[in-house]
Structure 1
Amino acid sequence: MFRKLLLFFISVLVTISILFTIVEQVSENVLQETLQSTSLKQLKYSLQEMEQTLKQLEVLTVLLSNDSSIKSYGNSKDFSPYLNSLLLRKIIEEKLLTQSYANIVQSNISIYWPRLDEVLSSLNHSPKKVYNKEQWSTLPKFKWFISRENGFELRYILVAPYLIVPELKSVNYTIETSLTVNFLKNVLRSVEAAGNGSSFFYNPSFEPIYADKLNESVFQKVKDLYATGRFSNGELNHQTITIDNESYLLQAVSSTSLDWSLVQYIPLDDYLKPLNLTKKISRASLIFLILIGSFMYLILYRNIKRPITYLVRKLEALGSGKYESRVHLRVNNEFDYLFDRFNDMASRIQILIEDVYEEKLRSKEAIYKQLQSQINPHFLYNCLFYIVSMAKKNPDAVTAMAQNLAYYYRFITKNNSYEIPLSEELKLITSYLSVQTLRNPNLHYHIDVEELLKQALIPPLILQPIVENSVVHGIDNKLGSGIITIKGATLEGVHYIVVEDDGYGLTPTQMQNLSSQLENKYRDNEIGCGLWNIHQRMQHRYDHTSGLTFEVSTLGGLKVTLSWKCIEGKVQD
């Protein structure tokens, strides 16, 4: 449950983190898009205002070119008295001055008559300073351009009459409207007054025009972008650049009246400060949430998860048979009461299990003693029956059997134990087979048991009935037989003793029935006492995997295998 709770908590935190990241990214994108849109609109609006101003000045210049007094002044000295010429000049000067002040921006209007080589200006400039006859023909006509003659100056020249390729000798007069560079700087200040970064006018052939200050790094980046063709017709939309770990939004709009671009650069970090502050607050909130969640999980783990896990381990230990298992943990909450009840329950279960276990051991021991006491009379009966049957036929066999019987009971009486070394059992078998060879000279036997296995402790008379069955029911019932082999070894922690003969043997069906009858808790009258007693004693003494198994022997008779698990300490000292 707590693992699921932890996974749920982690999934919630991950989801919140992803949502925070998405919201932050969307907010940043929206803010940048809004900034791009508004700044570009402001940039275009300011440039449009400048274009309209220049268009108005163009219109006023054209209207002025159609003034009759200006047209007639060029010929006034040829046809009019000199006094009238001076009066006409005065009228033109007043018109120029009036129109100059009437314009929406302060401008200088100059009229030049090439034939008279005379200039009238609203600012009374010297003719030689205003016009350079050698450069005049190279200057652009009927369009605005920026000249370096008197510093940066914005100029518009109109020629009358209109000529596609005007020559100075063919021109009656020219009218020029000029603006100082302050006009462009005021345009830049109006852009910057909107609060959208800084701006400057850029033309690759000139130095940049800026209002108050210029970021040289940004200007150099603009030059590089222009050189690499990133400007499209002098315009650039939404270009983000990074200089000295600072990001700038770069935009440029081309002027239709001038061959210049109005470039604006906005430091994004300044505009994203509120959003960055929001990001920091969001991340701090997320970290705080993680800390609070971790603290709550730690409290739940300490006061609920750990006690439950500890109690489950104790329950598992109790279920696995460790009845002495007790709870010693104290958490100073309701679990202490549960732990006390568990300890009481475990104590009662331990007492009950110990009583039942002791009773079971006593019952098992009683059954084992009963089986052991059952085999002793059986062995005695067989020996006495053999003595009676051989009394007249072979007195030596009777003597040997009596000695064998006396040796066995003297050993049992002396040790008074329910287990004897396998070596003693093998001595008894050797004596028994020696006696049988006196009765049957064709009987031959071979015993091959590992020395270490001979030290293992086994119940008395555990092999003798098997060997006796091989002689009586196997070899005696088949003419020409007489071979018995006894082998013993330990493999993978299990002791094996195999008894084989070349006697009559059993069919597979008989072996299967015999194996089934051995598993019965109570002996069937159809089966002899010896084999059933051996099998039951082995299972009571060791476990259900111990006992007898039957196979067809390679010698032709029956192969009986006695097996039991190797138990540490079950060897002769």
Structure 2
Amino acid sequence: MRLWQSSIYLNLVLAFLLSIIPMYTLSLYISLSGAASVREEITKSMQSRVHFYLSSFEAELSRVIKSMREFINDADLSMLSTLYPNIPTYERFTMTNRLESKLFLLNNSSQYIANSKLYIPSMGITIHGSGYDEKPIPDEEIREIRSVQYNTLSPFTMLGDRLLMGSLFPLGLNAAQSPTSIMKVEIPVQSLRNVLKQIPHTAEGGAVLFARDQDWHIASDQGERDPALIQQLKKLWENQGNDQKAGSGRFEIDNRFYLVTYEPSEILDATLLVYVPEEQILYPISHYFVMLIVLSIFSVAVIILFSYWIYRMLHKPLRVLVSAFRRVENGYMDISIPHQTAFEFGYLYRQFNVMLSRLNTLIQEVYEQKIRSQRAELKQLQSQINPHFLYNSFFVLKRMIAADDNKNAIRFVEHLGNYFQYITRNADDAVPLEAEWLHARTYTDIQMARFSRRLRTDYIDEPGPYGSVHVPRLIIQPLLENALQYGLPNKIKDGIIRVSFAVKRGLICIAVEDNGEELTNEQLNRLHAKLNARDEQMETTGLINVHRRLQLMFGNDAGVLVSRSSLGGLRTEICIPMKEEEPNVSIADH
């Protein structure tokens, strides 16, 4: 099933089929045209043969009919039939001999006359070519001859299996009048059959002579091997109408096609019809047509097999190449395709390996360059953090010493030492979150020495098991500086800074809020815009500094979010994607 779904295999098969279909179509057209041409020529030949034999038969029987009618004016027949008692015996005998001689000549004048007889009722004798006897012509034959002579145009009548021609003298008798003489000629049916057999020139073909006004026919086959076929042909002939025109056609009879040619005869009042099975005539062409079909089927089979061979020859190396590309697409860059083959695919494999090697080199160079650039930028951003509050911290320390507040001074100096120790330790770009959290508390302790009378700082929750997560150095202090400098600069008393920790939606979040009253919606929108800006040349200080460093280290899912705090001022929130880390290791020496 997968083989037929392959576009390469189907395209190969279709390409070969499209290449042979025009030739096959042309061959089929030539074959069909040849069959039609042969059928037309054979039909014309059949029409010529039908016309020839029918014309010959008409000429022979016309001569017989003419000879029969000459007896009307025969003096001997007239005298014998009307003056028989008054004629001397010698003259009567002489007249009878002359009539006998004439009948003898008539019998031998045509192959279509079996015998002829002349019956003279007044004499009670029947004259024939070899003498005469006293056997009269049967009344049944006389009635048939009378019926044909006065009721039909046909000169024939079929009585049993005998075909008769006859005439009653004198002409113009009615049904009540008795004839003075009766002429009867018997046509040999077998002779007609022999002639009809010569027309088709095929083993299964035949010819039939149909009477138009009488219910008889003569077929070339004496036994009429297929009476149903004869009846079907008769119906076809009758359906052609009585236009007395010759014609031909191709007819289907009992699921078999026949070429049929027919021609009517006014003299005989009959129609000669010839039929030939089409397959006998077109057998050579049909044989070639079958061979063409077999050849076409064989060609299609060869095309399918040849296409499959080509498909197998191309598909295996293509599959290897496509599989290699898919592995590269999935990020596997350390692959190599063997290329022992000498075909074009060997060149493709070698070039693929070279391309992948160069690509790995370029990726490594770009990756290292990016890492160096990021580290340089981290150093640059980190160096921008300037602890301006230290200037004021020295004045606070001076005031404590002047006031002999040695206990608080010592604790204050300790906080400053820890602070300087943290911000000057540049060995690592990232530190554990617990260390950054403790540094933020150190920073607030230093600031509370100055502002404890007008604000307080609340720390809610702790990093706990997430203390070992590494984060950029100095990311919480800028948020606290922002709250002190911009959120609570005019707060005389009851100022609040709240620092909280939470884990939500796979993010580690540290929020710094204040209850300042200076923040407007316009300022908040501008701050939003600065954080979302992608301008690389923009100054990166404060919150934007932290935002850039977080995204450089953790990607675009990390950063700083700003919103209005529930305390009334600004809420800045650091969001870091949570990774699988071990529970935090406490920093006991901090």
Give the distance between the partners of 2:194 and 2:149, measured in 1 at CA. 25
- Equivalent in the alignment of 1:275: 285
Give the distance between the partners of 1:406 and 1:230, measured in 2 at CA. 131
Using the TM superposition, give the Cα deviation of residue 332 of structure 1 relative to its aligned residue in structure 2, in angstroms: 3.1
What are the superposed Cα offsets for residues 67-121 of structure 1, whole Å, 9 maximum, x if unpaired? 2222222134232211110110001100110122123533422222233333212
- Equivalent in the alignment of 2:80: 73
Using the TM superposition, give the Cα deviation of residue 184 of structure 1 relative to its aligned residue in structure 2, in angstroms: 2.2
Using the TM superposition, give the Cα deviation of residue 478 of structure 1 relative to its aligned residue in structure 2, in angstroms: 5.8
- Equivalent in the alignment of 1:332: 342
- Equivalent in the alignment of 1:220: 228
Change (3 A) 1:305 1:192: same
- Equivalent in the alignment of 1:53: 60
Give the distance between the partners of 1:454 and 1:38, measured in 2 at CA. 111
Instruction: Report the 3-state secondary structure (helix = DSSP H, G, I; strand = E; otherwise coil) of the residue aligned with 1:147.
Output: strand
- The answer to whether structure 1 residue 163 and structure 2 residue 172 are counterparts is yes
- The answer to whether structure 1 residue 459 and structure 2 residue 467 are counterparts is no
Q: Read off the aligned partner of 1:537 and give its amino acid letter.
A: R
Q: Is the 8 Å Cα contact of residues 240 and 248 (structure 1) preserved in structure 2?
A: yes
- Equivalent in the alignment of 2:486: 473
- Equivalent in the alignment of 1:94: 101
- The answer to whether structure 1 residue 144 and structure 2 residue 160 are counterparts is no
- The answer to whether structure 1 residue 507 and structure 2 residue 507 are counterparts is no
Give the distance between the partners of 2:186 and 2:249, measured in 1 at CA. 33
What are the superposed Cα offsets for residues 360-395 of structure 1, whole Å, 9 maximum, x if unpaired? 4345345435545x37x746x646745744875998
Give the distance between the partners of 2:237 and 2:409, measured in 1 at CA. 129
Instruction: Report the 3-state secondary structure (helix = DSSP H, G, I; strand = E; otherwise coil) of the residue aligned with 1:177.
Output: strand
Q: State which drifts further: 222-231 or 86-95.
A: 222-231
- Equivalent in the alignment of 2:89: 82
The TM-score, its normalising length taken from structure 1, stands at 0.77
- The answer to whether structure 1 residue 241 and structure 2 residue 249 are counterparts is no
- The answer to whether structure 1 residue 535 and structure 2 residue 547 are counterparts is yes
Give the distance between the partners of 1:83 and 1:67, measured in 2 at CA. 18
What are the superposed Cα offsets for residues 41-77 of structure 1, whole Å, 9 maximum, x if unpaired? 4334433433333222222222232222222221342
Q: Read off the aligned partner of 1:101 and give its amino acid letter.
A: N
Q: Is the 8 Å Cα contact of residues 72 and 170 (structure 2) preserved in structure 1?
A: no
Q: Is the 8 Å Cα contact of residues 460 and 501 (structure 2) preserved in structure 1?
A: yes
Using the TM superposition, give the Cα deviation of residue 474 of structure 1 relative to its aligned residue in structure 2, in angstroms: 1.4
What are the superposed Cα offsets for residues 443-472 of structure 1, whole Å, 9 maximum, x if unpaired? 576858999977754223323322331233
Give the distance between the partners of 2:238 and 2:550, measured in 1 at CA. 98
Change (3 A) 1:213 1:452: farther
Within the candidate set 139, 162, 175, 1:132 is matched to: 139
Give the distance between the partners of 1:274 and 1:37, measured in 2 at CA. 19
Give the distance between the partners of 1:435 and 1:97, measured in 2 at CA. 164
Give the distance between the partners of 2:175 and 2:464, measured in 1 at CA. 135
Q: State which drifts further: 440-449 or 120-129.
A: 440-449
Using the TM superposition, give the Cα deviation of residue 253 of structure 1 relative to its aligned residue in structure 2, in angstroms: 4.8
Using the TM superposition, give the Cα deviation of residue 271 of structure 1 relative to its aligned residue in structure 2, in angstroms: 2.6
Give the distance between the partners of 1:80 and 1:18, measured in 2 at CA. 87
Change (3 A) 1:287 1:210: closer
What are the superposed Cα offsets for residues 219-255 of structure 1, whole Å, 9 maximum, x if unpaired? 3155357569973348985243254x65444555555
Give the distance between the partners of 2:356 and 2:364, measured in 1 at CA. 12
Q: Is the 8 Å Cα contact of residues 330 and 336 (structure 1) preserved in structure 2?
A: yes
Q: Read off the aligned partner of 2:290 and give its amino acid letter.
A: K
Within the candidate set 350, 354, 357, 1:347 is matched to: 357
Give the distance between the partners of 2:99 and 2:462, measured in 1 at CA. 147
| Matches for 1:18-29 after TM superposition, within 5 Å | 18-29=25-36
Q: Read off the aligned partner of 1:163 and give its amino acid letter.
A: G
What are the superposed Cα offsets for residues 372-431 of structure 1, whole Å, 9 maximum, x if unpaired? 5x37x746x646745744875998997887676677788999998654555665565567
The TM-score, its normalising length taken from structure 2, stands at 0.75
Within the candidate set 179, 184, 188, 1:180 is matched to: 188
- Equivalent in the alignment of 2:197: 189
Change (3 A) 1:309 1:71: same
Q: Read off the aligned partner of 2:174 and give its amino acid letter.
A: V
- The answer to whether structure 1 residue 43 and structure 2 residue 50 are counterparts is yes
Q: Is the 8 Å Cα contact of residues 112 and 188 (structure 2) preserved in structure 1?
A: no
Q: Is the 8 Å Cα contact of residues 550 and 561 (structure 1) preserved in structure 2?
A: yes
Q: Is the 8 Å Cα contact of residues 46 and 200 (structure 2) preserved in structure 1?
A: no
Change (3 A) 1:129 1:175: closer
**Matched length:** 558
Give the distance between the partners of 2:292 and 2:464, measured in 1 at CA. 81
Q: Is the 8 Å Cα contact of residues 387 and 401 (structure 1) preserved in structure 2?
A: no
Q: Read off the aligned partner of 2:107 and give its amino acid letter.
A: S
Instruction: Report the 3-state secondary structure (helix = DSSP H, G, I; strand = E; otherwise coil) of the residue aligned with 1:211.
Output: coil
Q: Read off the aligned partner of 1:160 and give its amino acid letter.
A: F
Q: State which drifts further: 393-402 or 422-431.
A: 393-402
- Equivalent in the alignment of 1:154: 163
- The answer to whether structure 1 residue 113 and structure 2 residue 124 are counterparts is no
Change (3 A) 1:276 1:565: farther
Give the distance between the partners of 1:461 and 1:8, measured in 2 at CA. 69
Change (3 A) 1:414 1:392: closer
Using the TM superposition, give the Cα deviation of residue 181 of structure 1 relative to its aligned residue in structure 2, in angstroms: 0.7
- Equivalent in the alignment of 1:265: 275
Instruction: Report the 3-state secondary structure (helix = DSSP H, G, I; strand = E; otherwise coil) of the residue aligned with 2:149.
Output: coil
Give the distance between the partners of 1:208 and 1:76, measured in 2 at CA. 42
Using the TM superposition, give the Cα deviation of residue 473 of structure 1 relative to its aligned residue in structure 2, in angstroms: 1.4
Q: Read off the aligned partner of 2:78 and give its amino acid letter.
A: K
Q: Is the 8 Å Cα contact of residues 159 and 166 (structure 1) preserved in structure 2?
A: no
- Equivalent in the alignment of 1:286: 296
Give the distance between the partners of 2:523 and 2:44, measured in 1 at CA. 103
Give the distance between the partners of 1:43 and 1:543, measured in 2 at CA. 101
Percentage of matched positions with identical amino acids: 20
What are the superposed Cα offsets for residues 500-547 of structure 1, whole Å, 9 maximum, x if unpaired? 5453336267437744888436x74xx63x334323322331335643
Q: State which drifts further: 279-288 or 128-137.
A: 128-137
**Gapped regions of structure 1 (runs ≥ 5):** none
Give the distance between the partners of 1:128 and 1:481, measured in 2 at CA. 162
Q: Is the 8 Å Cα contact of residues 314 and 325 (structure 1) preserved in structure 2?
A: yes
